[in-house]
Chains A and B, each alone.
Chain A
Amino acid sequence: MDPVLEEVYSTVLSGAPYVIGAYALIWVVLMVFVIMMLNRSRKTQKDIDALRESIERRKERTSRPDDVPTEGRSED
């Protein structure tokens, strides 16, 4: 290669990893945030489902007053 052109393009090979690294790391940071949001969403959704189920069960129980509550009943 022409030595002048070699000097003109001398920063390309040394700079490319930094350019790719900067773009990749920006997305790593953003993805970490997304993963944190997804984990929290999954946990919150699980809590919502569990609470709804508990409320439904409780309502069913209170709507049938003759039923003997199972909570705290010892196994004979």
Chain B
Amino acid sequence: MANESANEREAGGGRRWSSGRWTTVAIVAVVLGCALTTLDFLWAFLRAPMVSGANLSDGQAAIINGTVVSTRLLFSQKIFYFHVPVAIVSFCFIIAAAVYAVMFLARRRESYDLRSRLCMLVGLVFIVATMISGDLWTRHDWGVWWVWEPRLTTYFILMLLVIAYFILRAAVEDPETQARFAAVFAIVAAIDAPISFFITRLVPSSIHPVVIRTDSGLPPDMLVPFLAGIFGMALVGFGFFRLRLTLEEQAMEVESLKRSYEELLD
């Protein structure tokens, strides 16, 4: 690659110090993220109010804490507090992968390709987590494990695109060609992320609700766990990305040591 010398410099002593510092930051981010998501879960499970579901039979009503309730209260909606944050983080990573891919195509630096690949990898982990949590919600509320409605379909396509990205990388041997093809594919795949996000607005008949709205007016008991979930999952994702990057740097060190050893043998 055009920046081989820059990468070599990056692989030197300066990087090692910064790598150690980043590892500490990553671990702190993951621990903090775990704490926030635990708070999210406990708050959601124990404190967040339940939302209204179907009307009670025969038009009956009950008075709970001075409020007239004429609908069933949906407990399963509490999945929202961690399913949506995980989905948002997955979108962010796919978009970040595309941004790094654009940067790679513009500057041809190997480090951008590496970061793009890792964003895709962490994005895939969060996509799988979103799919599983969403499936449980779908099973309880809609009575089926899967339904081909617009949000689920576009998100499923996104997952397939991310998997295809790794298949493409594995199929191309030449590192430079692989990075170039993968960068273009990452950008194409990322187009599906905003489509999937906005599809509930674009297709009003979708049974998937529009979650992020300016008029949602979430009360503090719902907003606090939701925000804790978003920040917690974002921190966990960031921590994973940095830890994985450290691993890749270690792998680069192995390659560098192998080269040194081979030079000694010659």
Interface residues of A (CB under 8 A from B): 2, 4-5, 7-12, 14-16, 18-23, 25-26, 29-30, 33-34, 37, 40-41, 44-45, 47-48, 51-52, 54-55, 58-59, 62
Contacts and interface: CB of A to CB of B under 8 A. Distances in A.
B128 interface: yes
Contacts of A22: 79, 82-83, 132-133, 136-137
Interface residues of B, number: 47
Contact of B129 (A9, A29, A48, A54): A29
The 7 A-B residue pairs with the shortest CB-CB distance in the complex, in nearest-first order: A15-B75, A15-B76, A22-B133, A51-B257, A29-B129, A18-B140, A26-B129
A8 B153 CA distance: 33
Interface in B1-49: 41, 44-45
Given A14-B140, A55-B257, A41 B72 contact: no
Given A22-B83, A44-B254, 7 more contacts: A7-B60, A18-B139, A19-B76, A26-B86, A48-B254, A51-B258, A59-B264
Contacts, number: 117
16 contacts: A4-B62, A8-B62, A11-B75, A12-B50, A25-B132, A26-B86, A26-B132, A26-B133, A29-B129, A33-B240, A44-B250, A44-B251, A51-B254, A52-B257, A54-B261, A58-B261
Contacts of B240: 30, 33-34, 37
Interface of B: 41, 44-45, 50, 53, 56-57, 60-62, 64, 69, 71-76, 78-79, 82-83, 86, 125, 128-129, 132-133, 136-137, 139-140, 236, 240, 243-244, 247, 250-251, 253-254, 257-258, 260-261, 264-265
